[in-house]
Amino acid sequence: MVPITTFHYLVVAAALFVLGVIGVLTRRNVVIVLMSIELILNAVNLNLVAFSRMWGNLHGQVFSIFVTVDAAAEAAVGLGILIAFFRNKETINVDEIDLLKW
């Protein structure tokens, strides 16, 4: 049995982060993109908590509370933008959100 070190936590967090980035970059559905953004943020949270355990103090955990709050707010605002956009263009395909072109 391999002992679970901090390193393993960081790898998982990195993997989650990469998946999240890939989702942001490649998914067509805007809602999925928002979900991928949440995933990125949660990966960051996991990273912070792992470091908090490593250093033995609560700095990381406190930071992750802040990140979580930020994520929630961001989700709310993002969905609000999405709904406003949907009212305008009747679509949730991210490729079609290109009004702010040159």
Partner 1 sequence: MLFLNHIYLIPLLPAFGAAMMFFFGRRLQKATVDAVCVGVVALAFLFACFTIVEYTHFAHGTGQPFQKVAYTWLGTGDGHLTFAKKDWTLAAFNVDAGFLLDPLSCIWLLFVTGVGMLIHIYSTGYMAHEGGYYRFFGYMNLFMFSMLTLILANNYILLFVGWEGVGLCSYLLIGFYFHRHSASTAANKAFIVNRIGDAGFILGALTLVWYLGSFRFTDINALARSGHFAIGDPVLTAAALLLFVGACGKSAQLPLYVWLPDAMEGPTPVSALIHAATMVTAGVYMVARSNAIFVLAPTAMKTVAIVGALTAVFAASIALVQNDIKRVLAYSTVSQLGYMFLALGVGAFAAGVFHVFTHAFFKALLFLGSGSVIHALSGEQNMRNMGDLRKRIPTTYKTMLIATLAIAGIFPFAGFFSKDEILWQTWASEGGAYRILWFVGYGTALMTAFYMFRLMYLTFFSPSRMSHEVEHHVHESPKSMTVPLVILAICSIGAGWLSWPHSLGGSANFENFLEPVFAREALVLEEEGKAAQLAAGEKEAEHTDNTEYALMFLSLAAAAVGWGMARRSYMNARKDYPEPIAVKAPPLYNLLYNRWFVDEGYDYAFTGRRKIGKVRLGVMGAGEAASWFDAKIVDGAVNNVGWVTRAVATLSTWWDKWIIDGVGVNGPAILARMISYPARLFEWGLVQWYALVMVAGLLGFGVYYVWK
**Closest separation between CB of residue 41 and partner 1, Å?**
14
If the CB atoms of residues 90 and 98 are measured against partner 1, the closer one turns out to be: 98
Q: Does 98 sit near partner 1 (CB under 8 A)?
A: yes
Question: What is the rounded CA–CA span in Å between residue 84 and residue 89?
Answer: 9
- Contacts with partner 1, 27-46, as mask; x by CB under 8 A: ------x-------------
If the CB atoms of residues 31 and 62 are measured against partner 1, the closer one turns out to be: 31
**68 dihedral zone (left: phi>0; alpha: psi -120 to 50; beta):** alpha
Read off the tokens for 19: 């998946």
Question: What is the rounded CA–CA span in Å between residue 72 and residue 67?
Answer: 9
Among 12, 24, 32, 35, binds partner 1 (CB under 8 A): 24
**Contact positions toward partner 1, by CB under 8 A?**
21, 24-26, 33, 94-95, 97-102
